[in-house]
Structure 1
């Protein structure tokens, strides 16, 4: 009796242990998506230094007392507009002295010419010797040279007198006025009177490392660098407050050589600045577009990083997963741009990959397409040089 009861209990326990096994063997239902090829554009940010197309220091070309300041700090001035006035009294006196010397030289020339005219017929008639004529002709040559020197001194005095009025060499905006009225100024002063910037266009300078520059060259059509620059699309300028400058610029110059210290080459982008919103010394970043044709989009959430490598779980025909390493080319929104490791049409697991094992059987469910999740999005990578 006891033996039969014991056997019946063992059978009951065995049947209870077998029932949960079939439930645990059910494969997990996980969202799966198909990887597709597409063309994506990413953007890289490069810090830039902003300068006007012309930046000049305003300095006096003669020494003197600064009599008047004719403009205000930060004013917009036109080319040729008077800016400063130096006391011109000493230079007017020098001009008057030079004019007097010129008049004396003109009189001496007339006298020397008369001597030549007097001796010429006398020598011809052999009344006097030709030595006297040659002496008169030599004196005439000296008189001509003295007149030329006097005229040069008059021109120099006029030029110096003109330098007493300092004018704007270009149109633009003035900087601070560093010298005050009444100061003694001169061309050898360490400090300039002010600075003048022509900012109707601005130049922005940024640097690319050697790898970035090689990628930059491969992006655009053309055999020569000028031809490639002609195909570079307009670039955006992001200001210090992260606002976007309203006008796009054009990359139009590449430096002739790499900097040996930094291993980078300088590029220039030019922007119209008709309203003068930007000034020399502003800072910002250039946003450079980079096209990535025929890349595969893989959601970052569908990847796992192990030992500095990134993996996805690909789903085979039998719905078993396999872990595959991928090569990342860039990032766009919430997706990696993948060049190797998966191919167009492959299925990958989108979620729940933390608990997956190699060769595990899953039950695929429909997930969102990787490229649909980033429609209209771009990634911006900030590059510090």
Structure 2
């Protein structure tokens, strides 16, 4: 009797355990859930850029001669009109002296011809000599006057050439490398310039947008024309080669008139102030262009799952039952997607564990961990990327 009672009790306990096990397996999983809220987000797109001074000029001699003196050093800051190079001016001074002498001779010839005209005029009036002689004298005077004008022009040209022996800075700025050494023979036809001069009180940075990016750029900002859109474009940042950000923001002010057929891109120009001369022509960097996205939802990429080229989230509905929703992504900000369609403002989504969820499954919602990304507006997070 005792043995049979013990066996019966064991069978009863085993049956209860088998009934409890399925109930424990069907317990809804506890997963973090949070509501979405619509806001305006800002993302940033980076584009490689080249930097040039407002004015970049090649310094070349305008007359041929021996380079006597170099009056500046490489990389020096120079003012407009400051002497930079000196070409031996002895030949040009001699040329000026010769032209001055020729001018004086031409002036003497004019005086002599005028004397002849004055001498023949009364004689012709009194019919002492024929009128032909007077006209011949007047023609000689005209030729002498023309020769005098030619001589004066030669003097002015010689003075200009003598002035060209001192090469001055056409603008204020910074010099590049000095390509020619003292004592070299230089001339206007030289393949290589003496140096380059850059006016960098402001700098132009050039970057290119592909066709898709340009269409996005054109549709993103208010205005009917490109010029109107540029006025609504927020200031842009310049990231230097060491990944530091230039302290002053710039303004996009020019869009090229046509696309490059080779690259399929259009060039834009942003201008940055450079009062301290930190930027130089030839520098490279990255233009960081801000793109606002109004009325979007910020969804962590970890809360999504990709199936058949679509991205889904699990929305929590009535009775804590989850429904899979395909979402439309406008962009990405860090580890978060910017979603414009598929979920609504105020709707709750599952933040973690979505890989193991099934359509219609019931969950037990929990509050997200403190380290979870806030799904309200992400302006501060977006701005921190700068």
* Band of TM-score, shorter chain: over 0.9
Is this contact kept in 2: 1:63–1:185, CA < 8 A?
yes
> For residues 219 and 17 of structure 2, what CA distance do their matches in structure 1 show?
68
Give matches, 1:43-54, under 5 Å.
Answer: 43-54=44-55
**Residue correspondences, number:** 382
Is this contact kept in 2: 1:331–1:379, CA < 8 A?
no
Q: What is aligned with 2:315?
A: 314
CA shift digits 1:113-135 (9 cap, x unpaired): 11111112222222211111111
Is this contact kept in 1: 2:63–2:164, CA < 8 A?
yes
> For residues 16 and 107 of structure 1, what CA distance do their matches in structure 2 show?
136
> For residues 107 and 68 of structure 1, what CA distance do their matches in structure 2 show?
40
Give matches, 1:329-348, under 5 Å.
Answer: 329-348=330-349
Residue from 355, 371, 375 that aligns with 1:371: 375
Residue 197 of structure 2: SS of its match in structure 1? strand
Q: What is aligned with 1:124?
A: 125
**Cα drift, residue 301 of structure 1:** 1.4
**Cα drift, residue 336 of structure 1:** 0.8
Q: What is aligned with 2:61?
A: 60
Q: What is aligned with 2:329?
A: 328
* Residues 26 and 15 (structure 1), Cα distance of their counterparts in 2 relative to 1, 3 Å cut: same
Q: What is aligned with 1:282?
A: 283
**Cα drift, residue 6 of structure 1:** 8.5
Q: What is aligned with 1:194?
A: 195
CA shift digits 1:220-246 (9 cap, x unpaired): 222222221112111111111111111
Is this contact kept in 2: 1:115–1:136, CA < 8 A?
yes
> For residues 12 and 220 of structure 1, what CA distance do their matches in structure 2 show?
73
Q: What is aligned with 1:273?
A: 274
Residue 318 of structure 1: SS of its match in structure 2? helix
Is this contact kept in 1: 2:38–2:376, CA < 8 A?
no
Is this contact kept in 2: 1:43–1:290, CA < 8 A?
yes
> For residues 10 and 18 of structure 1, what CA distance do their matches in structure 2 show?
13
> For residues 244 and 4 of structure 1, what CA distance do their matches in structure 2 show?
84
**Cα drift, residue 43 of structure 1:** 1.0
> For residues 239 and 304 of structure 1, what CA distance do their matches in structure 2 show?
36
Q: Which of 304-313 and 11-20 deviates more? A: 11-20
Q: What is aligned with 2:244?
A: 243
Is this contact kept in 2: 1:209–1:264, CA < 8 A?
yes
* Residues 280 and 22 (structure 1), Cα distance of their counterparts in 2 relative to 1, 3 Å cut: same
**Cα drift, residue 217 of structure 1:** 2.0
Give matches, 1:125-144, under 5 Å.
Answer: 125-144=126-145
Q: What is aligned with 1:351?
A: 352
Residue 377 of structure 1: SS of its match in structure 2? helix
> What RMSD in Å do the two structures reach over aligned CA positions?
2.2
